[in-house]
Amino acid sequence: MFGIIRPCRHRMSEGMAASWLAHLCGLCLALRDGHGQVARIATNYDGLIISVLVEAQTAATADLRRTAGPCPLRGMRTAPVATGEGARLAAAVSLVLASAKMRDHVEDRDGAYGRRPVAAAARGVARRWDRAGARTGGDLGFDTAVLVDAVGRQGAIEAAAGPGTPLLTVTEPTETATAAAFAHTAVLAGRPANAAPLEEAGRLFGRLAHLLDAVEDLAQDTRTGAWNPLTATGTDLAEARRLCDDALHGIRLALRDTDFAGSAAGRLAHQLLVHELGRSVDRAFGAGGCAHGSHASGADAAGAGIAVQGSGNPFGGNPYAPGAPGTGAPGQSPYAPGGPGFPGGFPPPEPPRPRRGLLAGCLVYTGLCCTCQLCCSEHEDAWSRERRDSWCSNCDCDCCDCCSCCDGCDGCDCCDGCDCGCDC
């Protein structure tokens, strides 16, 4: 599992959490049914948004769900899962982008991919996934060539980037790919008027995905000397945060111009793309997060992309953010040109434990699945070895389980602590 939107169930009503899980399982099963068991590893949290958007623009009918059999990841329980063209489009997009990620690992010789047999096998899987994604996309009227072309241009753009290169030049291929996928959801749903606003929402979502990945990897990339768009272009964290906040605002405006069918999926799309995406930005910049367990990093910002109040540092608890102790002049990023650099005046983080290789990680992942640890208990990530919460964790924190949006609202600016009692 991967993705920038990782909602915690305490922020969702029971119905909304069940709907989110239905789309996640629907994506996983669409990959299995269309492309085989191995393809299920391409399941990702962000890909299910494609399925959510298609359903949000479609009138609710009984054939949008089917009952799936017992699964170890659900504690061997049956569950209703999303089905139809939305899940298939999400599977095609996820498969093509996963194949591109795999080829990128091979080219960079990351971990086990540096070994010739593993690299050869990975190239073969990537080629099959490209063809499978293109076949499924073609059946749905979506040309996956736009995704392949965007990924193909990324390497040349990164190689040409240097100090002074606009950061948005580097994020453009990702923006183009996600814009095309979002826009096609309107075609599948039979609402062509939604194509333009959803294309804009997709473009900004792709920008956020690229920027947040760069921010989260910044410390490790600086330590290992890996390429990072922020250091390569000389962009500091303050500018990156400004771009993220602008993208969040643009997504909110684009969704306001989108005609949803008024279903629960419409509320779920708003929850994920406005509220949870805003929390993802706060989490990446250390300005807030889930109050449940290890996610706590300060008070959750109220609304999308709003910095924590009452703090002189707009980036909250991030020790490497501008103005943090020991990081140089106030307001200066430690990674900005002329800054003190990593580790600057601040002690470096504890070195991470070595990543597991591809095969070892797959074996550990299989064990986590078979013992239901993924869905039922805190566990160690099979590859990165970072601590992860269970997928189905129920927390007893003080966060409210209240509304985030209401049917018919016009771009609500709701905040934590409301007591309207609506189930959305």
CB contact at 8 A, 198 and 182: yes
In the numeric block, the tokens 């597991």 are attached to 356
- pLDDT tens-place values along the chain, 424 residues long: 468 888 877 778 888 888 899 999 999 999 999 888 888 988 999 999 999 999 999 887 767 888 988 887 777 788 889 988 999 999 999 999 888 888 877 877 777 888 888 889 989 988 999 899 999 999 999 999 999 898 889 889 999 999 999 999 999 999 999 999 999 999 999 999 999 999 999 999 999 999 999 999 899 888 888 889 999 999 999 999 999 999 999 999 999 999 998 667 788 999 999 999 999 999 999 865 555 544 433 333 333 332 323 333 333 333 333 444 333 444 444 334 334 433 333 344 456 678 888 888 888 888 887 777 776 667 788 888 877 777 665 444 444 434 444 444 444 444 444 434 344 4
If you ran DSSP here, which 8-state letter would residue 272 be given? I
Cα–Cα distance measured from residue 82 to residue 98, given in angstroms and rounded to the nearest whole number: 21
DSSP string, 172-183: HHHHHHHHHHHH
Q: Which of 208, 214, 209, 205 is nearest to 236 (CA)?
A: 214
The whole-number pLDDT of residue 71 equals: 84
CB contact at 8 A, 147 and 180: yes
Q: b vs e for 270-302, b when ≥16 Cβ sit within 10 Å of the residue's Cβ? A: bbbbbbbbbbbbbbbbbbbbbbbeebebbbbbe
Domains and CATH numbers, the chain: 9-316 (1.10.600.10)
Q: Degrees (nearest 5) of the Cα angle 169, 218, 106?
A: 75
SS (H, E, C) 71-139: EHHHCCEEEEEECCHHHHHHHHHHHHHHHHHHHHHHHHCCHHHHCHHHHHHHHHHHHHHHHHHHHHHHH
Q: Which of 241, 251, 253, 295 is nearest to 273 (CA)?
A: 251
Angstrom distances, CA of residue 419 to CA of 18, 69, 406, 416:
22, 37, 13, 9
* Conformational region of residue 282, where left means phi above 0, alpha means psi within -120 to 50, and beta covers everything else: alpha
Instruction: For residue 135, count other CB atoms closer than 10 A to its CB.
Output: 14
Q: Look at strands 379-380 and 77-82 and give their pairing.
A: unpaired
CB contact at 8 A, 82 and 23: yes
The whole-number pLDDT of residue 52 equals: 94
The whole-number pLDDT of residue 290 equals: 56
The phi, psi pair for 387, rounded to 5°, reads -75, 135
Cα–Cα distance measured from residue 245 to residue 307, given in angstroms and rounded to the nearest whole number: 10
Angstrom distances, CA of residue 305 to CA of 146, 189, 287, 333, 334:
30, 30, 9, 19, 22
The whole-number pLDDT of residue 205 equals: 96
Alpha-carbon torsion (27, 31, 37, 42), positive or negative: negative
CB contact at 8 A, 174 and 209: yes
Angstrom distances, CA of residue 8 to CA of 47, 186, 290, 373:
17, 28, 7, 17
